[in-house]
Amino acid sequence: MPEPAADAVPAPARPSFGARLQEAMDTRGQLCVGIDPHPGLLAAWGLNDDAAALERFSLTVLEAVGEQAAAVKPQVALFERHGSAGLAALERVLAACSDAGVLSIADAKRGDIGSTMAAYADAWLRDGSALAADALTVSPYLGFESLRPALDLAQASGRGVFVLGLTSNPEGASVQHVGGDHSVAAGIVDAAAAENSRELGRAAAAGASRQLGSTGLVIGATVGTALTELGIHLAAAHTPVLAPGLGAQGATGADLRATFGAAYPNVLATSSRDILKAGPSPAALRGAARQTLAGLAG
């Protein structure tokens, strides 16, 4: 019997995350709604700052926008601050996303080495884990290959990762922009593109034709001309881009089209506060999401 190829990956039990995200974006548009139960938003909704309120808040958002958004993105830190009760609420929210057929992106920004990274991957990307999401945000700043346990488990389970690439916070440039035309950020983009090239090559060999891989990038919606200045080219990378910063942080659909250019069809734009402030009325939340989607469509 011939030996399997060195880069062979077992076929997952579900379609790849890239394929599922592409279908969701084609069907519903390019909006990801952040589920960010900040204390101030909870108070504005007339809710207490406790785990029960987190769950009520999150499920209201999911019910209101689940048919409009390509994905939702719970901000894990805002659940963690309530300890085990908050994480239990997050488990139920992630399960509700799965039941509703809405892609979930756990915004946890995990990053470590060796067995610790493997444990993070096991928590967020393994079938059967109570915290399993469709995708996980991860940090590559211990070296891109430190993410290997998450990259491999995501491939094996039909899930995805979004790797921090070029963020819009002022402090990010001190690390991400280092190197100019050979910047740290450009290296991360290239590494993610290589992951997707291998994945899509395997898919093509199996007779499938897909546009998006399952290794995404987090690139801030408000990075402006930084992609051009750093010589980063995304259009041919087949890389989904999670772009936080739409709405309350100042970015518009027109800004995103200008920033990402030919790669704009691969962009999943995230809006949180600008939509969430419309609550607690589900109808008002739906209206805010609908207006945001219209802006993304141009």
Residues with active-site annotation: 109
Asked, as a colleague might, if the bond just before 280 is cis with ω within 30 of 0, I would say yes
Tell me the longest C-alpha to C-alpha distance in the chain.
65
DSSP reduced 3-state for 293? helix
Closest CA to 110 of 80, 140, 73: 140
Question: Is residue 44 within 8 Å of 273, Cβ to Cβ?
Answer: no
Structure tokens at 261: 């250019």
HEC readout, the chain: CCCCCCCCCCCCCCCCHHHHHHHHHHHHCCEEEEECCCHHHHHHCCCCCCHHHHHHHHHHHHHHHCCCCCEEEEEHHHHHCCHHHHHHHHHHHHHHHHHHCCEEEEEEEECCCHHHHHHHHHHHHCCCCCCCCCEEEECCCCCHHHHHHHHHHHHHHCCEEEEEEECCCHHHHHHHCCCHHHCHHHHHHHHHHHHHHHHHHHHHHCCCCCCCCCEEEEECCCCCCHHHHCCCCCCCCCCCEEEECECCCCECHHHHHHHHHHHHHHEEEEECHHHHCCCCCHHHHHHHHHHHHHHHHC
